[in-house]
A = this chain, B = another copy of it.
Amino acid sequence: MAQDKSARRPRAETPKGFRDYFGAEVAERKTMLDRVAEVYQRYGFDPLETSAVETVEALGKFLPDVDRPNEGVFAWQDEDQDWLALRYDLTAPLARVAAQFRNDLPNPYRRYAMGPVWRNEKPGPGRFRQFYQCDADTVGAPSVAADAEICAMLSDALEAVGIPRGDYVVKVNSRKVLNGVMEVAGVLDPANPERFHAERGIVLRAIDKIDRLGEAGVRALLGEGRRDESGDFTRGAGLSAEQAEVVMGFTSARRDSGAGTIARLRELVGASVIGAEGVAELQTMAELLDRQGYGADRLILDPGVVRGLGYYTGPVFEAELTFEILDEKGRKRQFGSVAGGGRYDDLVKRFTGQAVPATGVSIGVDRLLAALRAKGRVGAEMPGPVVVTVMDRDRMGDYLAMAGELRAAGVRAEVYLGNPKNFGNQLKYADKRASPLAVIQGGDEAARGTVILKDLILGARIAESATLEEWKDRPAQVEVPRGDLVAAVRRMLAR
């Protein structure tokens, strides 16, 4: 019977692939996103918060992993048997909003959005089913000036959160140029755009994986296909060696200067109209950015960047962090991509039938946070509170008053509210709270009209290794008049 009873207790667990964020984790992310939002707002972008739930039909099938178009979302049927789902990104809801409110929104519409998205995918280490995205998009602006603006803003945002110039680069490329190259390679027929659609998708995803697969891996995927270490075979695009050569030439088209890369791309796209258009757009973007001071130290043209999503139609961009970290095996490697985006001119058309130009960027919030941690740029967001200990539970009012005075002076402070019997537990609690300072007033101190302030940070250091000089210089414990409580705490916190 007893067993039956305990078997009926619910398990205290998050569902598989979900997690909770505590204290500093929440504060760090908030600080970072607040800084990004400040930059976005200064650029004239307005916040938008769409509902987490959308109709499945509005969301569409734009998940990056095209092999499983129908999966990937958490979905259920409502009372009318319509399918609803949690949003899997912030772009699909924007397209829905741009269509739904097209008569009310300013045109062009600049908006930013920050919030969780959900993916019904296999969870893994560091791979969760709910995670944050932080997007900025401009809908209704056909000019590449809009793309250039997004790139400049991304650069500003990275610096605003604490990535110094020189530690990142925004790489810019163009899907039109890639299409021009594909035309030259014979896998794009301007007279019949749908032809070779599947092949181009394979080429796109192959190039996107060049960092991981290397040149040989990409070549295999451009050709017959590739067998990975596990023995799984991925079908290739079926290009001939000559065709593959043209495409590979594109991925390595980057030259030392932007002008050099432009010239090389112009050679590669040859007579392709779409290709020439793409090259001209890249040139314009580079000029506009250069004119504003965003030079090669921040923004470069890199034909190696294609982005995995199928819906991009023009410029694409990616922010890479160039400083090195140690990977899980202790090897040095560049931190890599933290944000990416591009122009997508057909998402709103799904709803309205009319093409609406749009461009935008998405920051991988957890990736960027990890980068800031690696650079030691986070952690000061939330100091531990001063803990007022309870020596005499009948004088709880006195202790609460002390904490109240400290808070009124702007000091984070709390009274220990557990069982006060064991004083050691109170100090252990203060330690767990990362408290810098404990306030102590027993009967003797109360009678004398004093309080004791115990420096817990120094206390911990002394317990480890502090020298006698340090101890003398900064006594870990002082007794001060009750009336000096606030001033004395402030002095100790400031030193």
Contact = CB atoms under 8 A, between A and B. Distances in A.
Nearest to A58: B10
A51 B130 contact: yes
Interface string A23-57: 10111001000000000011110111111111101
Interface stretch (A229-237, A349-357, A368-376): A349-357
B74 A108 contact: no
Nearest to A349: B9
B57 A412 contact: no
A240 interface: no
A27 B13 contact: no
Main secondary structure of the interface of A (DSSP, over half): mixed
Interface string A197-224: 0000000000000000000000000000
Interface string A328-361: 0000000000000000000000111100000000
A292 B99 contact: no
A75 to B, nearest CB: 7
Given A57-B10, A292-B397, A27 B15 contact: no
A18 B51 contact: yes
Interface in A1-16: 6, 9-16
Interface stretch (A136-144, A275-283, A484-492): A136-144
Given A84-B74, A417-B138, A48 B20 contact: yes
A166 B419 CA distance: 35
A263 interface: no
Interface in A158-204: none
Nearest to A47: B26
B130 A400 contact: no
B407 A42 contact: yes
Given A20-B49, A418-B141, A401 B291 contact: yes
B142 A419 contact: yes
Nearest to A112: B26
A25 B111 CA distance: 13
Contacts of A288: 396-397, 400
